[in-house]
Amino acid sequence: MYVAIKLDKEKCIGCKMCIFVCPEANVIAFCPKSKKVEVNEARCKGCGLCVVACPKDALSLDNN
């Protein structure tokens, strides 16, 4: 089973809170054009710190 976060782009407001709590490097990137974040799921360990930090519930942990 591989655990990684899922991003709901519609809900993202680009506050970058998720970027500041992630213990892994280069997982969540900020796109200056769309002013939203992008997730590299292959690098995610699924700790869920960003899910807790997100003020808009744009991130979720799907266990499969």
Partner 1 sequence: MTKNILKMSPAFADIIPAEYRELVDNGPYGRDVGVAELGTFKELLEEHPLCAGCGLALALRIFLASLPAPEDTIVVGSTGCSSLVFPQAAVQNIHSLFGNQNSVASGLKRALKLRFPDKDKDVIVVAGDGATADIGLDMVMHSWFRRENITTIMLDNEAYANTGGQESGMSQQGTVLYMAPKGKNFPKISMPELAREAGCVYVAVGTPAQPRKLEKMLKRAIILARHVGPTYVQIMTPCPTNYKFKNNETVNRLKGLEKDGVFKPREYITAEAQEALNRLEEVSK
Smallest gap from Cβ 10 to partner 1, in A, equals 19
**In whole angstroms, how close is the CB of 11 to partner 1 at the nearest point?**
17
Contact residues for partner 1, defined by CB under 8 A: 16, 19-26, 28-30, 32, 37, 43, 45-49, 51-53, 61
> CA–CA distance from 53 to each of 16, 33, 38, 45 (Å)?
10, 23, 16, 16
**Closest to 7 in 3D by CA, of 62, 49, 45:** 62
Would you say 8 or 43 has its CB closer to partner 1? 43
